[in-house]
Structure 1
Amino acid sequence: MNIRINKNRQAIPLTNGQLSFWYIYQLTKETANHFLPYEFDGVVRPDLVERVINALLQDNEILRTSVNDWCAIQYVCPYEYFHLPYEDLSDLCLDAQSASLGELYLRYCAANFDLVKPPLLRACLVKLAPQKHLLMLVTPHFAMDGAALHQLDIELKTLYQKANQGLSLRTASKLALADYVAQEQAARLAQSVKAREFWAKQLESIKPTYLASSLVDISDRSRRGVFIPLKQAQLSLIGRWCGTFKLTQQMVFLALIGKVMSDVTGNQHLCLTTVQENRDIEGARDLYGAMLTSLPVPMQIAQGQSLNELFLQVKQTTLAVYQYRHVPWSIPLSIVAQQKLDKTPWWLSLFKQTSGLYHTLTKQAGLYPQALFDFAAIAAGDIEEDKKIMRDGAQHQALTINVNMLPSFYEQTNEIQQTQTTDNDACQITLRRELDFPPPPDNSEWEQSAINFYIEKHAVNGFGIRLSHQCLTPQAEQLLRDEFYALLDQVTDVGVQEVQSA
């Protein structure tokens, strides 16, 4: 990998995870922002919060990157001091306060980032009462996802407590972004040819997943959904399955959700997408950045198939998929996209011929030779699907089914508790998911055909599955929830016997 210093900036190829967001950004200019509203209860010093934000910018290169507009390259820029905006709404009544918070959300959080212009972070500290503040923190998906958000949560709270105690905020040197990318690209190169062959074989028999038109609503693109809580007995059963069949929790939920979606849609050859966090590289555990790799997991669910058989199938497929996870998201997704095409359009054939030329011109980006073609194939699949929807109706929108395990589900310990001070002036910092003001509807086309299942521990509702989407009717939400509970209820009574006899 060729690393250059250009105008006091370090030029680095994108990570596998960043490539997907870079591609979407080129097409839509959408950055799928993470809105992180931190509530500070207690005495707050705005100058310390500003110091914390600046420490995060100094220690995390990804927040200081500028992204090339035509080539998959990012430049690590020098640190520049960040002045934290401060708004005092404490004198307003609740209704006026809510309206003002909505306006601030639009100003700081709703707008897409310009990835060319760092920092890839926005923040505003809002005073709501004498001892209550809200820190509006926002970052694009390109800069952070998965465990990185959990790491940010830990560091922000720890750093504020250190600042309050007069301690130094600078951390030990983190793994350089260039070093991470170099190791990731080495892993990609080692399996590049076999990976494409593997994915072509894995995905050759899958079929698009569709819902009945009565269950689809694509006229409303606002993000919505429901939470499906899990009882302790159900969690215990899932734990027994994991122990008996040597499964991860992710595998269990893939099997259960795959079974539900197959029953609802009638598709016995469906494909679910999950993610693998590429943090097995030494030093990557505390690194910020987009490091999730989307991995399609094909499933064949036969009539009369037992849950035990499905578990073993999902386990075998998932382990095989993980063997070839060090690939850009676009390789397996382009294979899926090409299966949607009745015939190859002329312009896609042209992209296939010129992809190698683009690879040569952008050699510093470290892209694989067919990258441009794969991006074009994904676009062609989307165009073909849009034509079918316009011609034949919403029931012809193929669904992407994402199943994501969030750290809150399996991380039982609160790492920040060890750093909390017992002083009377201590400030309790909480990442709020339930807001006191209604954020404006999200009408983006970021995931317009995706059904997202987030396995998490909700701050209020406990353990469960959060279903998020932009394309389902309330009837479809209720149906999916009922089918999931029916499946669990069906196996709860016989679960112990099945596990013991397996």
Structure 2
Amino acid sequence: MGEGPGLSGRPGSADRRRRLAELLLRRELAAERAAGAPVRRPRPAEPAPLSPAQERLWLVERIYPESAAYNELSAFTLRGPLDTAVLRAALAELVHRHEALRTAIVERDDVPMQVVVPDAALTLTVDSVDGLPVRRREAAAAERAAALGAAPFDLGAPPLLRVALIRLAERHHLLVLAVHHIVSDGWSIRVLAGELIALYAAACEGRPAALPPPGVQYADYAVWQRERLESPEVAARLAHWRNSLAGAPEQLELPTDRPRPARESHAGAEYLFTLPEELVERLERRGREEGATLFMVLLAGYFVLLSRYCGREDLLVGTPYANRAGSGLEGAVGCFATTLLVRGRLSEDPTVRELLRTVRGTVLAALDNGDVPFEWLVRELRPQRALDRNPLFQTVFALHNQPVPLPPPPTGLTVEPVPRPVVAAKVDLELSFLRTPAGLDGHLEYSTDLFDPSTVQRMAAHLGVLLAAMAEDPDRAVHDLPLLTPAEAAGLAAEWRGAARHGGQDGRLRAVAGILGCTTDDVWLLAHDRGWEQAAARHCAREAMRQDASAGGLARALAAGADVLCLPASALPALTAAYRGPRSGNGPRLVLLRGDGPVPPDTGAWFARHGDRGPQLVSVWGPERTGGWGTLLVHRSDGGVHGPLGGAAPGTALAVVDARGRPVPPGVPGELLIWGPSLDGAGEGSAVTAPAGVDLPEGAGPCLATGLRVRRHPAGHLLPAEPPSAAQAAALMIEEALRRHPGVRDARVQRRGSGLVAYVVPALAAPPPVPALRRFLSETLPGRPAPGAYVYAESLDAG
């Protein structure tokens, strides 16, 4: 199981032998560079400096002392007879063999150092869930394992390892190990697991364990690495990285479901999927044609996916690198792994073949210079640092081969690794694959601060579409590769075909009238500013009324008992405060909210206050060339929205496309296109062809490019192109909460200096006291930021 760019291909194949020879040659060169490799220092040794990787982890721990993001958790199912006393002795010997497990991170003269203590007692925590019903034991054991990994470590109190044994039945146990990354890495976990089994088996069988004596320890390596980093050779490698990363973007602006928090919480989850063996074999064949490994082919596909999602053609991806070649460290435990940066450039519209060749060269160059710690690259490049994201890269890619089998346990006992649940995300998004006989097991780990599970699931599906297209046609330009799944493409095509079935303008008006419960004449009048007054006059203020958003205007409209109330969408907060419920059946049946743009207003405060008791809310918007009816959405009380044809008004079709006119997936920003069989020939917007993959009916006119950037929700309605910033989201949340207070008609929250100010329009003559508002917000939004000052106003019209 490799930590980074690995080999691919079938054992014994000529291609694999060639790549193996290439890798061995590179390792020999690495060994030559490692002349004067780390040596074991005399014991007892003086305190050693931290390695650059340890220094970064120590700093992270200082910033996030309660975080468990860098706790490495692993678990093993044990079935058969188990001697707990022998297991304790084996664990003690494991701690004795590896100084990293007995290392304390301390400060000497304000400088962090690592000190190896002669003894660090490890406690084996024994727990049991066998008293629970059988069907609940697995889940209960998993919860206790997760709790072990979620507790932060005190870096100054070794051992930085916890072990728990959870009994599920007499001959069924779960062994859980949690170790901090500052003294370990993925390779180290496998070393520890293998040695623990070997020590336990030897003790049970009354023989010495066939393990080599401890060699170079991690503190020895840290001293050697610090000395080597001052060498001319490393200076030359730093020059390579400066040149190869010059002008590279420091941030990957993936479209997210929520604004990025001011500080990372590292909360994470994962989505699992599979690439079938047939596809993997075709990808390997494409790679062989260009001298590329499976790792390089998959990374190329990931570059294309990221480019299509974020609209960038210059990308940086991190990939883990074991960093142990040529230095005799294969059996050592410590934080050796580093991150290689791989740059993907798609700006010259390469074909799949061309991209594979480029990625191959970039990966090999990164390997040639991979012994420069990532932390030194950060120091050298000096990227902008922030607490809300990782520097230089925010996404990781890795390909792992099948792990090396564990040593045989004693007779009668079986040991099986347990896939660990992801509960911490070190970066925004991490894609990894594990090679199996059935193909590739994919893992997409993601920050739950930023992404919903459904979004990550769609990403995995789109990656599968891209990879299949790369395998099918390597001479195709990567920007022309399909991205949408067959179901998404079929749904878009069906929407556009459906728009043609309404038979022109008359058919559209009848369909809209059926939804709104109006006549077709009313629908036409309500769609145009010049028609609001005519509609109101025709129906004697009983059927339709256009009003401004002032308190007096809303009060008069509600008192008049109009059946249909027509308002700008910006007036919804004021209507929310002014509406007092139906009065003897004379309240409006329908409120038509006409927006200045295609994104519907937030109706959360309305439904929180009025529920289903009020009139039906309908949002409409449309450029003049659509006759005023481009989008039409009927709001529901559950906070969602519902619109015929996925948010498009009847007789209208919508698509969100990228700069090349290709439809983008839900949640990805792009330009809004509108088409309908009866689009007017004049007005704002420009005529363009239909989006790629959509066939318009014969004789259909062009589409309307609105010039508006939006995203589309999976349900069909439109969203702002970017989620609000964390500060904007906090202000909007407070505004919505304040509007729910019975003494508040409207509210606006703005940042002034370093704090928030709430502007409040009282609903009654006597404004609610400020302490009451503070108390209301603390109960409604516990733990959230709150305004530092409150200002009462008669209206918010002046901003």
TM-score by length of 1: 0.75
Aligned equivalent of 2:444: 467
Q: Does 1:43 align with 2:29?
A: no
Note the C-alpha offset of 1:144. 1.3
The CA distance in 1 between the partners of 2:196 and 2:180, in whole Å, is 17
Describe the SS at the equivalent of 1:463: strand
Q: Which amino acid aligns with 1:24?
A: V
CA RMSD of aligned residues (A): 3.4
The CA distance in 1 between the partners of 2:144 and 2:48, in whole Å, is 34
Aligned equivalent of 2:665: none
Flag the 1:491–1:328 CA change in 2: closer, same or farther, 3 A: closer
Describe the SS at the equivalent of 2:182: coil
The CA distance in 1 between the partners of 2:420 and 2:62, in whole Å, is 32
Note the C-alpha offset of 1:106. 6.4
Note the C-alpha offset of 1:236. 1.5
Note the C-alpha offset of 1:277. 1.3
The CA distance in 1 between the partners of 2:270 and 2:228, in whole Å, is 37
The CA distance in 2 between the partners of 1:468 and 1:458, in whole Å, is 19
User: Contact 1:52–1:169 at 8 Å: present in 2 too?
Assistant: no
| Residues 444-468 of structure 1, C-alpha deviations (whole Å, 9 max, x = no match) | 6x63x52111222579x86222000
Q: Does 1:18 align with 2:18?
A: no
Aligned equivalent of 1:210: 253
Describe the SS at the equivalent of 1:230: strand
The CA distance in 1 between the partners of 2:185 and 2:259, in whole Å, is 28
Flag the 1:497–1:221 CA change in 2: closer, same or farther, 3 A: closer
Flag the 1:302–1:479 CA change in 2: closer, same or farther, 3 A: farther
Flag the 1:172–1:189 CA change in 2: closer, same or farther, 3 A: same
| Residues 315-343 of structure 1, C-alpha deviations (whole Å, 9 max, x = no match) | 222222223322232232356663x4xxx
Which of 394, 413, 424 is 1:400 aligned to? 394
The CA distance in 1 between the partners of 2:58 and 2:148, in whole Å, is 21
Q: Which amino acid aligns with 2:432?
A: Y
Describe the SS at the equivalent of 1:285: coil
User: Contact 1:68–1:74 at 8 Å: present in 2 too?
Assistant: yes
Describe the SS at the equivalent of 2:72: strand
Aligned equivalent of 2:731: none
Aligned equivalent of 1:369: none
Describe the SS at the equivalent of 1:124: strand
Q: Does 1:152 align with 2:192?
A: yes
| Residues 244-296 of structure 1, C-alpha deviations (whole Å, 9 max, x = no match) | 43334433332221111111111101101112211113321111111111121
Flag the 1:241–1:56 CA change in 2: closer, same or farther, 3 A: farther
Describe the SS at the equivalent of 1:472: coil
Note the C-alpha offset of 1:12. 2.1
Describe the SS at the equivalent of 1:382: coil
Aligned equivalent of 1:367: none
Flag the 1:420–1:170 CA change in 2: closer, same or farther, 3 A: closer
| Residues 452-497 of structure 1, C-alpha deviations (whole Å, 9 max, x = no match) | 11222579x8622200011222343133112211112212334599
The CA distance in 2 between the partners of 1:186 and 1:308, in whole Å, is 42
User: Contact 1:40–1:133 at 8 Å: present in 2 too?
Assistant: yes
Note the C-alpha offset of 1:311. 1.6
User: Contact 1:16–1:293 at 8 Å: present in 2 too?
Assistant: no
Flag the 1:463–1:38 CA change in 2: closer, same or farther, 3 A: same
Q: Which amino acid aligns with 2:457?
A: Q
Aligned equivalent of 2:113: 73
User: Contact 1:216–1:473 at 8 Å: present in 2 too?
Assistant: no
Aligned equivalent of 1:181: 222
Aligned equivalent of 1:255: 300
Aligned equivalent of 1:55: 93
Note the C-alpha offset of 1:48. 1.8
Query: Which segment is superposed worse, 105-114 or 213-222?
Result: 213-222
State, as a whole percentage, how many aligned pairs show the same letter: 20
User: 1:97-176 maps to which residues of 2 (within 5 A)?
Assistant: 97=137, 101=141, 104-105=144-145, 108-169=148-209, 171-176=211-216
The CA distance in 2 between the partners of 1:125 and 1:466, in whole Å, is 27
| Residues 145-167 of structure 1, C-alpha deviations (whole Å, 9 max, x = no match) | 13222222322333332232122
Aligned equivalent of 2:455: 476
The CA distance in 2 between the partners of 1:454 and 1:99, in whole Å, is 25
Describe the SS at the equivalent of 2:386: helix
User: Contact 2:248–2:316 at 8 Å: present in 1 too?
Assistant: yes
The CA distance in 1 between the partners of 2:299 and 2:96, in whole Å, is 39
Note the C-alpha offset of 1:100. 5.8
Aligned equivalent of 1:269: 314
Describe the SS at the equivalent of 2:331: coil
Moved over 6 A (4+): 1-6
Note the C-alpha offset of 1:80. 3.9
The CA distance in 1 between the partners of 2:64 and 2:436, in whole Å, is 31
Indicate the structure (1 or 2) with the bigger Cα radius of gyration: 2
The CA distance in 2 between the partners of 1:472 and 1:10, in whole Å, is 46
Flag the 1:312–1:106 CA change in 2: closer, same or farther, 3 A: closer
User: Contact 1:34–1:140 at 8 Å: present in 2 too?
Assistant: yes
User: Contact 1:216–1:472 at 8 Å: present in 2 too?
Assistant: no
Aligned equivalent of 2:373: 328
Aligned equivalent of 2:430: 452
Q: Does 1:281 align with 2:258?
A: no
The CA distance in 2 between the partners of 1:12 and 1:221, in whole Å, is 30
User: Contact 1:273–1:402 at 8 Å: present in 2 too?
Assistant: yes
The CA distance in 2 between the partners of 1:96 and 1:236, in whole Å, is 40
User: Contact 2:256–2:451 at 8 Å: present in 1 too?
Assistant: no
The CA distance in 1 between the partners of 2:350 and 2:156, in whole Å, is 51
Q: Which amino acid aligns with 2:271?
A: V
User: Contact 1:269–1:301 at 8 Å: present in 2 too?
Assistant: yes
Flag the 1:410–1:314 CA change in 2: closer, same or farther, 3 A: farther
Q: Does 1:238 align with 2:283?
A: yes
Flag the 1:493–1:320 CA change in 2: closer, same or farther, 3 A: closer
User: Contact 1:184–1:326 at 8 Å: present in 2 too?
Assistant: no
Describe the SS at the equivalent of 2:124: coil
Aligned equivalent of 2:414: 428
Note the C-alpha offset of 1:199. 2.4
Note the C-alpha offset of 1:214. 4.3
Flag the 1:56–1:496 CA change in 2: closer, same or farther, 3 A: farther
The CA distance in 1 between the partners of 2:198 and 2:75, in whole Å, is 17
| Residues 67-88 of structure 1, C-alpha deviations (whole Å, 9 max, x = no match) | 1234242112213443423223
| Runs of 5+ consecutive residues of structure 2 not aligned to the other structure | 1-37, 478-799
Note the C-alpha offset of 1:60. 1.1
Query: Which segment is superposed worse, 174-183 or 254-263?
Result: 174-183
Aligned equivalent of 1:223: 268
The CA distance in 2 between the partners of 1:298 and 1:486, in whole Å, is 23
